[in-house]
Amino acid sequence: MNASPSASPLRIAVLAGDGIGQEVVPEGLRVLDAAARRFGIALQLDHFDFASCDYYLRHGEMLPANWKEQIGGHDAILFGAVGWPQTVPDHVSLWGSLLQFRREFDQYVNLRPAKLMPGVHAPLIKRDGSAYAPGEIDMLIVRENTEGEYSSIGGRMFAGTEREVVIQETVMSRIGVDRVLRYAFELARSRPRKHLTSATKSNGISITMPYWDERVQAMSADYPDVMRDQFHIDILTAHFVQRPHTFDVVVASNLFGDILSDLGPACCGTIGIAPSANLNPERRFPSLFEPVHGSAPDIAGKGIANPIAQIWSAALMLDFLGHREAHDAILRAIETVLAPKSGAPRTPDLGGTATTADLGRAVAECI
């Protein structure tokens, strides 16, 4: 189907960022363009060079003073990756850009799917020795995204002396915890298995984590139809490796969610295909869509990064903006290209020798 574009365009702020972000974002846009043409979606893409270490080196900061005015009126943000530790310390680049977007645009849900796709070799086998089938591992990780362990509250005393002390607080507010839990419970309720797993560490972290558990327990009264369990983060990572197929929706604090959402996709063969959506569900601010992976300095500049995480993130963006059919078409195209007998190009992380652009073109041609 080729449809004529709708009248009012979706305004997308595009920030490619650092490293392989510069290489995978063009492929995300290539596929976005193909889907927009097919489904008659008008797009206005506005490119920005800030939120990158190059920008930092030129301006001494990751973002211009008026960054909220520049991108705050957009419908969504398509982001690549941030970080170039050779020139800017990671905590400076991350806190100066991505974490500002998440906090200032109140993107309190970070939704990160981990699904075993056709044609991707899962590194794990089941306990009975058999291989996982595509779709058999299919979980949604919901990461709290604005507070928790990622707080900027703390400091350093007696710097550079033997008495040096550093402190960084974990922040959990009732509003902050409840709203991400509510999102996760609703999401679990909407899925066939209706199963929610909560990550905790309330034996060791004795104030904030018991509070998290208490709020999960309290909210579960509203969701008697949702099967619920919880595990300490250490054994939960072991369960991810030993029985990843048993998880459906997994909700976790900011740090635990970050760890689980690299591990989940790794259990599905590669984090090169894992997308993420930083959501402000109420749409008071733009939501941000980015691959789970970072800027990957080790392979940046070689043109071999897998663009599927970025392409899938663009699909999540279209879905969030009300274009489910375009999202589904992109997902089908990804699955078609990845399928074992498709003959389509594969990047090195998928066992091939293809380039980022080869794979992006192959997906776009399937739309």
Binding site for ligand GGG (CB under 6 A): 81-83, 94, 258, 290-291, 294-295
304-308-309-313 Cα dihedral, nearest 10 degrees: 140
Specify the residue, 132 or 312, whose C-beta has the smaller distance to ligand GGG. Answer: 312
Pairwise CA distance, residues 81 & 110, whole Å: 15
Min. distance of Cβ 279 from ligand GGG in angstroms? Answer: 14
Alpha helices in 133-207 (DSSP H): 174-189
Specify the residue, 51 or 362, whose C-beta has the smaller distance to ligand GGG. Answer: 51
* Residue 315 in tokens: 């699909």
Long-range contact pairs involving 227-230 (C-beta distance under 8 Å, separation at least 24): 227/193, 227/194, 227/195, 227/196, 228/195, 228/196, 228/197, 228/198, 229/195, 229/196, 229/197, 229/198, 230/197, 230/198, 230/199, 230/200
Specify the residue, 110 or 198, whose C-beta has the smaller distance to ligand GGG. Answer: 110
What is the DSSP code string of 103-137?
Answer: HHTT--EEEEEEE--TT---S-B-TTSPBPPTTSS
Which residue's beta carbon is nearest to the bound ligand GGG? 81
Specify the residue, 77 or 367, whose C-beta has the smaller distance to ligand GGG. Answer: 77
Specify the residue, 41 or 114, whose C-beta has the smaller distance to ligand GGG. Answer: 114
Specify the residue, 277 or 350, whose C-beta has the smaller distance to ligand GGG. Answer: 277
Min. distance of Cβ 53 from ligand GGG in angstroms? Answer: 11
Q: Which of 68, 64, 80, 101 is nearest to 14 (CA)?
A: 80
Pairwise CA distance, residues 92 & 28, whole Å: 26
Min. distance of Cβ 336 from ligand GGG in angstroms? Answer: 25
Min. distance of Cβ 291 from ligand GGG in angstroms? Answer: 5
Asked if 171 and 133 touch (Cβ cutoff 8 Å), the reply is no
Min. distance of Cβ 306 from ligand GGG in angstroms? Answer: 13
Min. distance of Cβ 150 from ligand GGG in angstroms? Answer: 7
Sheet holding 138-144, edge to edge: 43-48, 10-17, 76-81, 287-291, 275-279, 109-115, 138-144, 249-252, 195-200, 227-232
Min. distance of Cβ 111 from ligand GGG in angstroms? Answer: 13
Specify the residue, 41 or 290, whose C-beta has the smaller distance to ligand GGG. Answer: 290
